Amino acid sequence: MMKKMKVDVPFYPNTKDDTHCYQACVKMALKRIYPKRNFTYKKLERLFNKPKDKYSWVPSAAINLNKMGLKTKLIATFDYRKFARNGYEYLRSHYPKEFADVQIKMSDIESEMENAKRMLKHNLYEKRKLSMGNINRLFKEGWLIIPNVNSHTLSHKKGYAGHAVLIIGIARNYVHLHDPGLPPRPNRKVSKKTFLKALRFPKNESHVLIIKN
């Protein structure tokens, strides 16, 4: 049997420019927590401190969600302590060159280093790898779980495209996701094997934002 959340999570798609998957997932989570409030993508961009035409990083969102009174935690194998000290160098040592180059090109590294320092100061980060068993427990405890995945892997394609999805259900062999796209896929069903492969890319890791009222 699938373990379902007590209340269905509203679905919101990514924007047409395909640059707001993280914001869409947080929008879904916030709508479930605050059903009478509306969070526009402009508000969510500020929450993420998102630079125009750049990637969204999670530390600023974790901080601002926590300031709203929510419980938040970023659980990742990515070492934000080392990144806060040695941004560019850490990215190049941690990731394959092609992947690191894309991250550097598509991110405001100096700004994200400062956001990481703030997140660490607020104790909103935990360095560890999440197993499927860990994710099951967090889900049962009522956490809204937003993992960073390789969207190409979810679709059984080669290559890499960083992407965020929201877990809405877990069955024996499958995970059910609200995938903001593009294309948008509410209640997308993927095997646990495929999900974990997408979560672990590129270095057998995991990078997950959890939110709870």
What pLDDT does residue 161 have? 83
Closest of 56, 74, 58 to residue 143, by C-alpha: 74
- The token pair at 113 is 């280093």
Do 164 and 149 touch, CB atoms closer than 8 A?
A: yes
The set of residues, in sequence order, having a beta carbon less than 8 Å from that of 204 and lying 6+ positions away, is: 129
Q: Which residues pair with 164 in a beta bridge?
A: 148
pLDDT tens per residue across span 121-146: 999 999 999 999 999 999 999 999 99
The CA–CA distances, whole Å, from 184 to 30, 76, 120, 174 equal 18, 26, 33, 19
pLDDT class for 2, splitting at 50, 70, 90?
A: low
Query: How do strand 71-76 and strand 125-127 relate by DSSP bridges?
Result: parallel
Which domains, ranges and CATH numbers included, belong to the chain? Answer: 3-212 (3.90.70.10)
Per-residue pLDDT of 146-164, as tens digits, reads 999 999 999 999 888 889 9
Query: Whole-model pTM?
Result: 0.94
